[in-house]
């Protein structure tokens, strides 16, 4: 896996990992995952002890909005990429005592077979995750915990108490445009918790900022 760049986003614990594709007249080849390259990289501290135990793939139609999902017992970090189309990833800090608690960011991840690089985005435990899709898209994500239906919840991306001040203005405008035009959402996502509700939820105490940092999982 030839990693060409690693960058932190507006929420610094969120990492974008760029890796090379090798293009020629036939198409391209890429090694999109090699565990040793990821856990051995000094800029990916929260991946050091991660073992990916589940892989998911989803297809979303145009104007779909998903999220914001989170899980504990076990915690689930996600390594996500776009296989086709255009995903805009959404990440919300839900860590108790975090200075960025309640802040949402977005990251644009279009896919093109002509690019000589591709990207993963790493969302560690402590963040709620979702996405929206300006066009039909297929995404893949590797998970650091198996799905646990009794230990999951969701915060509605439509919640009025989310702080979007760190978010790229263009991406927020794109989100608002989709939301104002009857987005394709499940009732479960649409009617998810507000941040106020999350603070009173049984899962909230599992996401204390200092404890997650001490365990080196965010």
Asked whether 121 and 80 are in contact (CB, 8 A), the reply is yes
How far apart are the C-alpha atoms of 153 and 156, rounded to whole Å?
A: 10
Asked whether 44 and 38 are in contact (CB, 8 A), the reply is yes
Write the CB contacts of 4 (distance below 8 Å, at least 6 apart in sequence): 18, 19, 20, 117
Mark whether 201 is an active-site residue. Answer: no
> What letter does residue 58 receive in the DSSP assignment?
E
How far apart are the C-alpha atoms of 208 and 15, rounded to whole Å?
A: 20
Task: Exactly one of 69, 75, 107, 129 is catalytic; name it.
Answer: 69
Task: Exactly one of 75, 107, 141, 147 is catalytic; name it.
Answer: 141
Mark whether 141 is an active-site residue. Answer: yes
- Active-site residues, by number, are 69, 141
């Amino acid at each position: 896996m030839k990693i060409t760049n690693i960058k932190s986003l507006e929420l610094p614990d969120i990492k974008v990992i760029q890796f090379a594709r090798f293009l020629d007249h036939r198409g391209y080849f890429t090694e999109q995952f090699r565990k040793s390259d990821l856990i051995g990289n000094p800029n990916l501290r929260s991946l050091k002890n991660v073992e990916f135990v589940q892989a998911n793939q989803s297809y979303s139609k145009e104007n779909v909005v998903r999220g914001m999902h989170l899980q504990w017992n076990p915690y689930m970090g996600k390594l996500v990429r776009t296989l086709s189309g255009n995903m805009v990833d959404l990440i919300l800090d839900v860590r108790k005592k975090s200075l960025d608690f309640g802040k949402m960011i977005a990251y644009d991840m279009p896919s093109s077979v002509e690019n000589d690089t591709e990207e993963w985005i790493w969302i560690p435990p402590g963040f709620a995750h979702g996405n929206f899709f300006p066009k039909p898209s297929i995404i893949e994500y590797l998970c650091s915990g198996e799905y646990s239906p009794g230990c999951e919840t969701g915060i509605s991306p439509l919640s009025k108490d989310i702080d979007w001040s760190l978010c790229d203005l263009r991406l927020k405008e794109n989100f608002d445009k989709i939301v104002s035009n009857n987005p394709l959402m499940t009732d479960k996502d649409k009617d998810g918790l507000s941040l106020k509700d999350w603070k009173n939820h049984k899962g909230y105490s599992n996401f204390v900022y200092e404890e997650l940092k001490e365990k080196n999982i965010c």
